[in-house]
Amino acid sequence: MRYLRLFVVCALLALGVAACGGSDEGADSAGESATTVNAGNGDGGPTISIETDDGDVEISGSEDDGEFDITYTDDDGEVVISGSEQVPDGFPLPIHSDCTVVAGTTVQATDGGMMTVTVEMPADKAEEIAEFYQEELEDMNMMVIRTAGSDNESSMIFLSGVDNDGADRGASCIFDIQADIATAVISIGGDT
């Protein structure tokens, strides 16, 4: 259900951008883009397609399994953003046993990609789990920089990893620690 709401928000944003970016009567002599918006219900759920002179966007989602895809195509190639309530296939890091997966996202572009997993955990386990992911990144031969900060209501831990081998790969883990629960966004991109 959470992804259906995300799908609806993305669709409304896309429609708003399309409405501001051109007209449905075609391009005028001043060089404005023509925009065509089509909404339908594909095999997996609702689909919205937006066609402009600058590129095409297709947004599709499924309420049944919480999955969504956003595809942008232009003359330079294609970018596909896929998400679900699960860890993306091929995610190179293990999920700590005290974590609950909230969402997984994959971005694939012509020139690379990245994967992101959002997890929740008990707040009192966040420090231990941050250390776990720091060690995992170091085991992948990454140089990891760790910073932390806090205010009266929450604290944060930031891990930033850069590949030591010169490969085009990087990672980040951002922990937001509240009173009872912590959330972490774990991302890795490039040559994983």
Digit-coded pLDDT (tens) for 127-142 = 999 999 999 999 999 9
Q: Are residues 50 and 107 in the same domain?
A: no
Q: Are residues 74 and 63 in the same domain?
A: yes
> Residue 152: pLDDT band by 50, 70, 90 thresholds?
confident
Extended strands (E) in 5-137 = 22-23, 33-41, 46-52, 56-61, 68-74, 77-84, 100-109, 112-122
Q: Are residues 118 and 66 in the same domain?
A: no
Give the domain range for residue 164.
Answer: 88-192
The span from the CA of 177 to the CA of 89, in Å, is 27
Domain stop point among 36, 64, 85: 85
The span from the CA of 64 to the CA of 4, in Å, is 9
The span from the CA of 5 to the CA of 11, in Å, is 10
Which residue has better confidence, 18 or 168? 168
Q: pTM to 2 decimals? A: 0.73
Domain stop point among 54, 85, 116: 85
Q: In the block, which residue shows the tokens 């919480």?
A: 66
User: With 70 as the cut, is the pLDDT of residue 50 above it?
Assistant: yes
Average pLDDT over residues 115-119: 97
Q: Are residues 94 and 187 in the same domain?
A: yes
Q: Are residues 179 and 114 in the same domain?
A: yes
User: With 80 as the cut, is the pLDDT of residue 45 above it?
Assistant: no
Task: Name the domain count of the chain.
Answer: 2
Which residue has better confidence, 32 or 179? 179
Average pLDDT over residues 159-174: 87
> Residue 33: pLDDT band by 50, 70, 90 thresholds?
low
Q: Are residues 100 and 179 in the same domain?
A: yes
Q: Are residues 26 and 46 in the same domain?
A: yes
User: With 50 as the cut, is the pLDDT of residue 26 above it?
Assistant: no
